[in-house]
Amino acid sequence: MSHWDVLLQQVINGVSLGAMYALLALGFTMVYGIIELINFAHFNVFMVGSFIAMWTLEAMGFAGQSHVLYGLPLIGILLAAFAVTMLGSGILGVAIERLALRPLRGVPGTAPMITTIGMSYILYNIVLLGAGADSKNYTNPMPKTAWEFGGVTLRLREVLLWTVALLLMLALNYFVRRTKMGKAMQAMAQDQEAARMVGIDVDRVVIITFFLGSALAGAAGLIFGLYYNYTSYLIGYTAGLRAFTAAVLGGIGNIPGAMLGGIMIGLIESLGGQYIAVRWTDIIIFSLLVLVLVFRPTGLLGRAAPTKS
Amino acid sequence: MPISDERQTPSQRPPPLLEFKDVNTYYGELHVLKGVDCSVGEGEIVCLLGGNACGKSTTMKTILGIVKPKSGEVAYAGARINELPTAERVKRGIAPVPEARRLFPRMTVLENLEMGAFTRDDTAEIEIDKERVFALFPRIKERLKQQAGTLSGGEQQMVAIGRALMARPKLLCMDEPSMGLSPAFVEQVFDIIQAINRQGTSIFMVEQNANMALSIASFGYVLQTGQVVLHGSAQSLRDNEMVQQAYLGRMKA
């Protein structure tokens, strides 16, 4: 393998990781955008999502990685798995908002944020008690099909995951920019009181935002399982923290920023692991975060807070 | 003790569209509105005068449902609306032009206008109202694609009024419409308020510029530390000595 091949291979890996981080970062950024809350429960909605997806695949008769599908059946099963997972995670996100966060709406200070940390621990412990502490061998119907380009391997599963992530981001973009509810979300992000005054039902927008963000976290959880072939109650922490960093890096509250930040974190992880050392990855990621916050506190694509004129 | 105005004859006023009956509001322990009675009749322009921190903004927030009264009644179009959420009030025809405009700064002028029609689904009628707004504010039409945050203060005020009109309101609630505008613009805004009123919309206005407000209003209230201390026709308030001294800047000869 020439060093160009190595670089290209790591870019492929990085984009795959980045797509997952981007989906996860979107949930952080959307919720922050409309209610200025950092939702740490999101870490473990992602983790629960990967379990929901695994159970869904098992319920459809798959076990381990021996039962492989091709063509339309594969696409059908993937669509079904993504749909069920996203619905389940979305409902979980809405339940968290409704039960734990809505009663605290309007409470100033850090109480709502601390509550999300509490919710995160509750989810973590429920899965630990219910599913056990061992890593689960992930049910994975994806074939091992791969193409060689010189020294570079492109696997079918990567292409599929990129496609799914891209479609989800395009769909979200369409929703936010073109639909009435999406415009209501933008309006709320820009001025909550003014949004209320044009007749926007703020609680409904918050619920839809939690649903969408959590559904995307569920999709990221399924991608995690299909990519790494395992899941465990522990996966929320590392991936969640990196995705959160991605959201801040891109400019928290900014949707394209979360996508860009996610891909950047993915690339740093894979290239840093290749050229420096895996154990330095987190140091590089968080040092970059510190640098961005020092020199560009609003993030790469973030805007300064609007001036009240 | 409220000072009553002898010349005021309530029977001459049109039937009320909005009515406050003995409304009391609190911020925590702080008693803000103290037994406020006031009303806006169908087709009227009513102004609320008062100094800083007298409860003007709270009155506005109580009309919109952002602050809920602890006792008393807020009635609109014959129904009690004390507990109605803001969104539902907008749907029923109460549209605010908030203090300091509060446009969506990173949306275009056109998007801001469209947000004003958020509670409506009658696409064809919305287009008609858009044209009506353009007719009132030809300047807006030239800047439809511009981000609202980049407009001048006067242009923002036009868009804010236009956005409120897009809800096709029966009652337009204007919080300090002249604030931060140049004198020439203030005059223009007040002309437009009158034009909107002539098209059939009732107007409730909170205003520091008492002179201007009383020149277009038919009825007025003076609020002091949360109480209505004076009310009457705009003409009678203009002639009132206390109003002249406190709000019109005229000293007794």
Least confident of A42-46, A155-159, A215-219, B200-204: A155-159
Tell me what pLDDT residue A204 has. 94
Tell me what pLDDT residue A195 has. 94
Question: SS3 of B90, please?
Answer: helix
Tell me what pLDDT residue B9 has. 52
Tell me what pLDDT residue A307 has. 40
Question: SS3 of B236, please?
Answer: helix
Q: Is the pLDDT of residue A154 over 80?
A: yes
Size of interface A-B (CB pairs under 8 A): 69
Residue B136 near residue B192 (C-beta atoms within 8 A): yes
Q: Is the pLDDT of residue B41 over 80?
A: yes
Q: Is the pLDDT of residue B2 over 70?
A: no
**CB burial readout A12-49, b (16+ within 10 A) else e:** bbbbbbbbbbbbbbbbbbbbbbbbebbbbbbbbbbbbb
Residue A220 near residue B141 (C-beta atoms within 8 A): no
Residue B167 near residue A199 (C-beta atoms within 8 A): yes
DSSP 8-state secondary structure symbol assigned to residue A301: S
| CB atoms B106 and A306 under 8 Å | yes
CA dihedral A180, A186, A191, A195 (to 10 degrees): 10
| CB atoms A197 and B98 under 8 Å | yes
Tell me what pLDDT residue A143 has. 87
Tell me what pLDDT residue A304 has. 60
* Residues of chain B found within 8 Å of residue A198, distances taken between Cβ atoms: 90, 115-116, 118-119, 163, 167
Strand order in the sheet with B171-175: B94-97, B171-175, B202-206, B45-49, B219-224, B227-233
CA distance B156 to chain A (A): 10
**CB burial readout B119-140, b (16+ within 10 A) else e:** bbeeeeebeebbebbbebbebb
Question: SS3 of A154, please?
Answer: strand
With a pLDDT cut of 70, the percent of chain A lying above it is 98
**CB burial readout A140-173, b (16+ within 10 A) else e:** bbbeeeeeeeeebeebebbebbbebbeebbeebe
ipTM for the predicted complex comes to 0.84
One-letter amino acid of A234: L
| CB atoms A197 and B90 under 8 Å | yes
What is the rounded average pLDDT of the residues A279-307? 83
Best of A176, A177, A198 to substitute, by most chain B Cβ atoms within 10 angstroms, is A198
| CB atoms A199 and B90 under 8 Å | yes
Among partner residues B91, B96, B104, which is closest to A190 by beta-carbon distance? B104
Q: Which two tokens stand for residue A39?
A: 């939702």
CA distance B115 to chain A (A): 7
Tell me what pLDDT residue B251 has. 57
CA distance A94 to chain B (A): 21
Tell me what pLDDT residue A214 has. 98
CA dihedral B159, B161, B166, B171 (to 10 degrees): 170
| CB atoms A190 and B107 under 8 Å | yes
Domain boundaries of chain A, sorted by first residue: 3-295
| CB atoms A198 and B91 under 8 Å | no
Among partner residues A190, A197, A309, which is closest to B96 by beta-carbon distance? A197
Least confident of A148-152, A168-172, B21-25: A148-152
Bridge partners for A155 per DSSP: A146
* Residues of chain B found within 8 Å of residue A186, distances taken between Cβ atoms: 104, 106-107
Residue A196 near residue B87 (C-beta atoms within 8 A): yes
Instruction: Tell me how far apart the alpha carbons of residues B155 and B108 are, in angstroms, rounded to a whole number.
Output: 13
Instruction: Tell me how far apart the alpha carbons of residues B141 and B29 are, in angstroms, rounded to a whole number.
Output: 47
Tell me the residues of B at the A interface, defined by beta carbons under 8 Å apart.
64, 66, 85-87, 90-91, 96, 98, 100-107, 111, 114-116, 118-119, 149, 153, 156, 163, 167, 180
* Residues of chain A found within 8 Å of residue B106, distances taken between Cβ atoms: 186, 190, 303, 306
Bridge partners for B20 per DSSP: B38, B74
CA distance B36 to chain A (A): 23
Token look-up 């021996």 returns: A66
Altogether, the residues listed in chain A come to a count of 309
Among partner residues A197, A306, A308, which is closest to B86 by beta-carbon distance? A197
Tell me the residues of A at the B interface, defined by beta carbons under 8 Å apart.
180, 183-184, 186-187, 190-191, 193-202, 303, 306, 308-309
Q: What is the 3-state secondary structure (H, E, C) of B111-180?
A: HHHHHHCCCCCCHHHHHHHHHHHHHHCHHHHHCCCCEHHHCCHHHHHHHHHHHHHCCCCCEEEEECCCCC
DSSP 8-state secondary structure symbol assigned to residue A280: G
| Closest chain A residue by Cα to residue B98 | A194
For residue A218, what are the CA distances in angstroms to A18, A87, A115, A263, B122? Answer: 15, 8, 21, 18, 37
Instruction: Tell me how far apart the alpha carbons of residues B229 and B221 are, in angstroms, rounded to a whole number.
Output: 8
| CB atoms A199 and B64 under 8 Å | no
Token look-up 């000869």 returns: B253
* Pairing status of strand B45-49 against strand A136-137: unpaired
- φ, ψ (nearest 5 deg) of residue A224: -55, -50
* Pairing status of strand B45-49 against strand B30-41: unpaired
Tell me what pLDDT residue B4 has. 53
CA distance B102 to chain A (A): 6
Q: Which two tokens stand for residue B2?
A: 């409220």
- φ, ψ (nearest 5 deg) of residue A132: 90, 165
Instruction: Tell me how far apart the alpha carbons of residues A9 and B244 are, in angstroms, rounded to a whole number.
Output: 81
Residue A117 near residue A132 (C-beta atoms within 8 A): no
Question: SS3 of B218, please?
Answer: coil
Q: Is the pLDDT of residue B153 over 90?
A: no
Please report the DSSP string for A85-135 in residue order: HHHHHHHHHHHHIIIIIGGGTT--TTHHHHHHHHHHHHHHHHHHHHH-SSP
- The reported pTM is 0.88
What is the rounded average pLDDT of the residues B156-172? 95
Among partner residues A197, A198, A308, which is closest to B100 by beta-carbon distance? A308
Residue A24 near residue A220 (C-beta atoms within 8 A): yes
Residue B242 near residue B210 (C-beta atoms within 8 A): no
Which band of pLDDT confidence, cut at 50, 70 and 90, is reported for residue A97?
A: very high
Token look-up 């670089």 returns: A7
